[in-house]
Amino acid sequence: MDMRPIVHGLEREYWEQVDFVYLNTDKVVNASLAFDYGLRGVPTYAFLDADGTVRKRWMGRVDPNTLRDFFDGYLTITVCNTQNGPASAGPFL
């Protein structure tokens, strides 16, 4: 199953809270970045916090509710730890 419609739907759903970044690992210029973030297979998804630390990684087809549950849980924890408005996260690769 093609994950693009699912990921694009999640991007629309979380657009104010999570930045979605797409990395073409077939391009040589992106190879070291893919290695740094542990992107070993296609597709691989990585959730980074605001500091760029990988908080979670998924490979292959992922149920959208699995991603939603993680996003919601992470954003809830972030809201509890901040006092300056809505939570946001780093990129989702």
The full set of domain ranges for the chain reads 4-92
**What pLDDT, on the 0 to 100 scale, is given for residue 49?**
86
The strands making up 44-48's β-sheet, listed across from edge to edge, are 19-20, 91-92, 44-48, 54-59
pLDDT digits (tens, 9 = 90+) for 19-28: 999 988 888 8
pLDDT digits (tens, 9 = 90+) for 44-91: 899 988 888 899 999 999 999 999 999 999 988 876 665 554 444 555
Give 57's Cβ-side CA count (13 Å radius).
14
Q: Which tops the pLDDT comparison, 40 or 75?
A: 75
The CATH number of 4-92 is 3.40.30.10
